[in-house]
């Protein structure tokens, strides 16, 4: 047993070298992000480069950041999760509906009174997160038990989970969510007034997102869970041979992906006070591209959370800056697409140059 353990560690340690490459990549993508910031600052000055606008950017990024972290774990195992956008919506819907259900009698909640919301809201949040995790577990079970490609499974569940959300809501926005989830939680400013002499709007969503990013970064780069993730993505057969429970680990990774999507779903309630069906439809691709811009390889085995964090910021900062600059909307799409391609291309060139050395 001890022997197997050490072999496992050995195989996993070998993978660690690859993560160093990814870590280096993230400093390169950081340079791209910073140059985008510099360009907009030169163009628009403090209209772009202001505390209030950075607040906007942080808030806009926090949701896609959750999905990007999920994508990073999944893609490093050489998998993919297309269903995150539907899990997000389904989690938000279940959370919203449970909050209403447990916050008072049907008569009370219909009259927009929520006497038990101090119980209802936590129950809703927990059920929303549990929903996310269960959806992810479902993906993992289909992938490992039926031996189906993750692309197919999550493409299918993308539709299934959205369909369930539509069934639960009749296809519309969930009305009558207790407003406290938004007013007392989502919009609460955690920044002490006048702290450090600045007026920052630090809402829980931003804090949660970045704390989770930090934890995810540590888990991926410093723990056995992280090393197994890399090992499976590099060579699943080898990982199996050295005794890693590949199927068990994949289950955990897809469950994690669903759970993180569930958090992003709760963020919707924080920010908008409603769960809306017609939203987030492109978030799955956005999260994958954030991970890839950040240096995660679609073939597995390579990637880092730090890169994905930067990768999540790049499109958000671009969109924000282009709107402020007054660039017409269609040109914004062209510009964002080009920057994504160029960022990945430059990164790959650098990487292949390194390999030749």
Partner 1 sequence: MVGEGCYPPAVRRLPAAIDEELHKGVDVTDLQRFRGMSRRDVLKAGTALGGGFVLFSAGYRPAADAQDKKFRIAFIQGVIGDNFYITMNCGAQAMAASLGNITVETQGPEKFDQTLQTPILNAVVQTKPDAIMMAPNDSKGMIEPIKAAIAAGVPVLCVDTTIDSDVQLADVSTDNVEGGRLAARGLADAIGKKGKVFVVNVQPGVSTTDQRGAGFKEEIAKFPDITFLGEEFCNNDANVAAQITAAKLQSDPDLAGIFGTNLFSAQGAAAGVREQGKTGVVKVVGFDAGPQQVQDLKGNVVDMLVAQHPGEIGEIAVQLLDQFLKTGQPIEPKKYVTGTTLVTRENLDTPESQAALYVADCSNYKLTGVKPTPAEAAATPSA
Q: Which residues bind partner 1 (CB under 8 A)?
A: 44, 47-48, 50, 52-53, 56, 59-60, 63, 166, 170-173, 175, 182, 187, 268, 271-274, 276, 278-282, 316, 319-321, 323-324, 326, 328-330, 333
Closer residue to partner 1, CB minimum distance, 8 or 274: 274
* Distances in whole angstroms, Cα of residue 188 to Cα of each of 181, 183, 192, 270: 10, 7, 11, 10
Q: Which is nearer to partner 1, 172 or 348 (CB)?
A: 172
- Shortest Cβ 273–partner 1 spacing (Å): 6
DSSP single-letter state for residue 303: -
CB of 169 to partner 1, least distance (A): 9
Nearer to partner 1, 19 or 274 (CB): 274
Give the span between the Cα atoms of 46 and 283, in whole angstroms.
30
DSSP 167-179: HHHTTS------T
Shortest separation between residue 61's beta carbon and partner 1, angstroms: 9
Q: Which is nearer to partner 1, 182 or 235 (CB)?
A: 182
Give me the sign of the Cα torsion angle 343, 346, 350, 355: positive
Cβ proximity to partner 1, 116 vs 276, nearer residue: 276
CB of 177 to partner 1, least distance (A): 8
What is the 3-state composition of the chain as percent helix, strand, coil, each rounded to the nearest 5?
Answer: 80, 0, 20
The answer to whether the beta carbons of residues 96 and 177 sit under 8 Å apart is yes
Q: How far is the CB of 170 from partner 1 (least distance, A)?
A: 6
Torsion, Cα 208 61 286 231, to 10 degrees, reads -40
Identify the residue whose tokens are 């990768």: 311
Distance separating alpha carbons of residues 203 and 54, to the nearest angstrom: 13
């Amino acid at each position: 047993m001890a022997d197997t353990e050490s072999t496992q560690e050995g195989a996993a340690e070998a993978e660690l070298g690859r993560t160093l490459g990814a870590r280096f990549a993230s400093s390169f993508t950081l340079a791209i992000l910073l140059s985008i910031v510099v360009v907009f600052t030169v163009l628009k000055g403090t209209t772009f480069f202001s505390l209030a606008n950075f607040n906007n950017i942080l808030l806009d990024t926090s949701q896609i950041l959750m999905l990007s972290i999920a994508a990073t774990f999944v893609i490093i195992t050489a998998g993919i999760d297309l269903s995150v956008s539907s899990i997000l919506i389904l989690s938000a819907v279940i959370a919203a509906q449970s909050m209403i259900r447990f916050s008072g009698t049907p008569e009370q909640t219909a009259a927009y009174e929520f006497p038990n919301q101090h119980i209802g809201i936590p129950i809703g949040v927990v059920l929303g997160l549990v929903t996310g995790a269960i959806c992810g577990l479902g993906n993992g079970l289909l992938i490992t038990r039926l031996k189906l490609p993750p692309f197919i499974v999550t493409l299918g569940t993308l539709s299934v989970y959205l369909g369930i959300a539509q069934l639960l809501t009749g296809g519309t926005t969930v009305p009558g969510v207790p407003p406290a989830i938004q007013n007392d939680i989502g919009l609460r400013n955690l920044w002490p007034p006048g702290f450090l002499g600045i007026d920052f709007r630090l809402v829980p969503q931003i804090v949660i997102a970045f704390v989770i990013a930090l934890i995810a970064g540590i888990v991926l780069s410093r723990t056995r869970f992280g090393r197994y993730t890399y090992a499976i993505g590099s060579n699943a057969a080898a990982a199996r041979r050295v005794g890693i429970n590949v199927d068990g680990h994949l289950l955990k990774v897809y469950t994690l992906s669903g759970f993180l999507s569930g958090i992003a779903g709760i963020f919707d309630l924080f920010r908008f006070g409603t769960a809306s069906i017609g939203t987030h439809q492109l978030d799955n691709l956005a999260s994958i591209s954030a991970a890839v811009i950040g240096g995660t390889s679609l073939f597995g085995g390579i990637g880092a959370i730090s890169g994905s964090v930067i990768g999540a910021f790049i499109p958000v900062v671009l969109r924000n800056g282009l709107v402020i600059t007054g660039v017409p909307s269609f040109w914004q799409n062209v510009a964002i697409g080009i920057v994504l391609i160029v960022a990945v291309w430059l990164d790959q060139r650098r990487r292949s140059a390194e390999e030749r050395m």
